[in-house]
A and B are shown apart, each in its own frame.
Chain A
Amino acid sequence: MFNFIKQFITKLTEDRYFYLKFRLILFNTFFAIIPLMIVVTITYFWIYEIVHDEFKNNLRWQMEETRHSLEFFISERKSALKFIVSSYPQEYFSDEKKFFQLFSNFKREFEGIIDMGIINSNGIQTLYVGPYQLKGKDYSQTEWFKEMTLKSDYVTDVFLGYRKIPHFSIIIKKEMPSGGDFWLLRVSINMDILQKLISNLEIGSQDDVFLINKQLILQTNSKYFGNALEPLKLNIIIERESDRIKIYDVELNKKQAYIAYTSIRETPWILLTTICSKPYAKIPTFFTKEVTMISLLSIAIIFFVITTSINNLVNRVRKADHEREIAIANAEHADKLASIGRLAAGVAHEINNPLAIINEKAGLMKDLLEYGDPSQNKEKFLQLVSSIQDSVTRCKTITHRLLSFSKRIDKAREEFNINEAIQEVVGFIEKEIHNKGINIVYEFQEDLPKITTDKGQLQQVLLNIINNAVDAVDIGGTIEIMTRLSDKNHIKISIKDNGHGIPKDKLKHIFEPFYTTKKKGTGLGLYISYGIIKKLGGDITVQSEEGKGTIFTIEIPVYPEVEEIK
C-alpha cells in the first residue's frame, strides 16, 4: 500500500500529463458532485419537513380524538343527569329507596359511577347511595359548592375528598320553583375512567399523556411527571383557555421533544402529551440509506465518465504536444540551416574580396612578366607576393572562424568568455555592419567570470538579435552592446539600438512563432531565441520605444543548473 502511494506521488510529480489528468479528474468530479449533493441535501430536508408535518398532523388528530371522547363522556353523563333531575318527580330525590333505584339504573347504564348524593342549599348531604358513609356530610365550605350558587352544572377537579381516593364529581343544580331555594345532585366518578379514556392515544414508550387542571395539578397519573394530584414536575407555561390543539417544539432532558396540549371543554382539565421518542426520524434514516446508495452509484458513474473523457482529452493533448514539439524541432532545424546559409553567404562575400586581390596581384605579376623586364621588377614582385600572402592570411582567418563555429554546433557545454563570444558574433557580420556604416559600441565589464553553457546556441541567439538590430537601424546608426554581472550567478547582456523601435501593439507578439514584420522573415528567430535562452536557464526581455530604439536584455546563468543540454 505504502509502495503504491509512493509510486503514485512520484508519478504525479514527474509526469506532468499524469498530474494534469489527476487534477482535471479531481476538479471535474468535485464540481459534478456538488449539484448532486445539493439535490440530496434539499431532498433530505424536504422529506424531513414532510415527515415532521405528517407526524404533527397525526398527533393533532389523535389529540382531537381523545379530547372528543373525553368531552363526549362528560357531556353524555351531564345531559343524562340533567334529564333525570328535570323529569323525575321530587320523591325520587327525597325517598331513600327510590333514590337507590335511580342510582342502580344509572350505574347500569353509565360506566364508572361510584356514588350519588343529594345536597341541600346549606351544603349538607341529605341523601347518599354508594360504598361510603357520607350521609350528613357538610360540603358548604368546598369550592364547588360555592361555584354552584352561580352555575347550573359543574365538573370538579380530581380530588381525594372524604374517601381518600382520587375521583371527580359532576354536580347538577335543581332550582325549586318556590323562591330561590335549590338542591344539588352529585355523582362521583372514579379517576381511573379518565386514565382509561386518555390511554386511547397511541404513543411510544418514551412518551407521556395525562390530564392536568388549570393550576397545573396532575389529574391522572403520569409516567414521568408525577402521580395524580401532585403538582406537574414540568416547567411549562400553558395558555389556559385554548380550544385549539397547540404543539410546541421543546427540549426535554436535553433532547428534542414535542409538547401538545388542549383544554377539554366544560371541564377544568387540560389534555397534555409529551413526545420524546422520534417516530418521524425513522423515515429519514431509511431515506438516507437509499439515497446514499444512489449517490454512491451516481458518483461512481460520474467518476467513470469523467475519467474516461479526461483520459481521452489528455491523451489528445499529449499527442498534440508531441506533434508541436516535432514541428518546433523542425522549425529550429530550418532556422539553423537558414542562419548557416546566411553565414555562408557572408563568408563567401568576405572570402571573394581577398581572392579578388590575390587574383589581381597574381595577374599583375603575370602581366609584368609578359609586358616588362622581369629583372627590373624584383622589388615590385616582392611587394605583390607579400600582398598575396596578406590576402591568404585574411582568407585563413575567415575559414578558421567558420570552422570553429561549425565545430561548436556539436559541443554542448564549454567554458568561455562572454565578451569574446560577442565579438566573434559581431565578426561574422562585420561586412554588413561596415557597409551600413553602423557604429558598434562595446561597454563590456572586463572582469566577468567565464561562463559555462552552450556557446553555439548562445551565439545563435546573439547573432539573431544583433542581426535584428542591424536591420532596425538606419545607415550610420549605433548599436551598444553591454555586459554586466547582475548578481553572483547571472550575466546580463544588453543589445541597444537607436533604430525605429517596435510599436507597443507588436511588442507583445515578438516572441510568438511565425510572427514577423520583415518581408523575408520566417518569424521564428526570436521564438527560437526565447526557447534557447529558457533552455539555458536564462531569460530574455525587450524594451522598445517607437522612433527611439530597442533594448534586448539577455540574462544567463554563469553555471546553469539545467539538465544536460542536448
Chain B
Amino acid sequence: MSKAKVLIIDDEFELVSTLTERLNLRGYDATGVTKYSDAVKFLNEIPDVVILDIGLPDMDGLEVLKKIKEINSSIQVIMLSGYGDNEKINKSLMHGAFDYLIKPVDIEDLVSKIESAKIKKEDIK
C-alpha cells in the first residue's frame, strides 16, 4: 500500500511548512497551504487526507470541511484545533470529519491518524 497523499491547511506558515517537511521525511506526499483559495487546486487532485485548522482567515474551518466533502466525500479530514472548542469539534465530526487533534500535536499521533484515515478512504473506494 502506497503512502498517503496529504494536504495541510493552516494559517500559520511556519507550522505548515515544518509539518509538511516532517511528513515528507516520513515518505508521505504532503503539501501545505495557508489559505483556502490556495487549497482548491490541490483538492481537485483528490488528496487522501486533509489536515484542516478550524480557524482560517478567509473561511471558517467548518465551511471548508463542507466544501471538501462536496468535492469528494471520500477525502478524509483531520481537524486541527488551537484549543478545545467542543462545539466546533462536535459540529465538524457531525459534518463528516474523520477525527480531530489539539495543537500542539504529537507527530506519532498524527501519523497514526493519517494511516487510519487512509485505510478508511481505501475502504470507501
Contact = CB atoms under 8 A, between A and B. Distances in A.
Interface of A: 345, 348-350, 352-353, 355-361, 363-364, 367-368, 371, 384, 387, 390-391, 431, 434-435, 437
B105 A359 contact: yes
A3 B49 CA distance: 89
Given A352-B83, A353-B82, A360 B22 contact: yes
B18 interface: yes
A43 to B, nearest CB: 79
B70 interface: no
B46 interface: no
Contact of B12 (A356, A364, A368, A371): A356
Given A358-B104, A360-B15, A368-B25, 19 more contacts: A349-B55, A352-B83, A352-B103, A352-B104, A353-B12, A355-B103, A355-B104, A356-B104, A359-B105, A360-B18, A360-B22, A363-B22, A364-B25, A367-B22, A367-B26, A367-B107, A384-B18, A387-B18, A434-B57
A387 B21 CA distance: 15
B58 interface: yes
Given A363-B107, A434-B57, A353 B15 contact: yes
Most buried by B among A349, A361, A363: A363
B57 to A, nearest CB: 6
A353 B106 CA distance: 14
A357 B83 contact: no
Contacts of B26: 367
Interface string B13-53: 01100110110011000000000000000000000000000
A361 B13 CA distance: 12
B14 A391 contact: yes
Most buried by B among A352, A353, A356: A356
Contacts of A435: 55-57, 60
A349 B83 CA distance: 5
Given A371-B25, A431-B55, A435-B55, A360 B83 contact: no
A384 B55 CA distance: 25
27 contacts: A348-B82, A352-B82, A352-B83, A352-B103, A353-B15, A353-B82, A353-B103, A356-B12, A356-B15, A356-B103, A357-B18, A358-B104, A359-B103, A359-B104, A359-B106, A360-B14, A360-B19, A360-B104, A361-B18, A364-B21, A367-B107, A368-B25, A371-B25, A390-B14, A431-B55, A434-B57, A435-B56
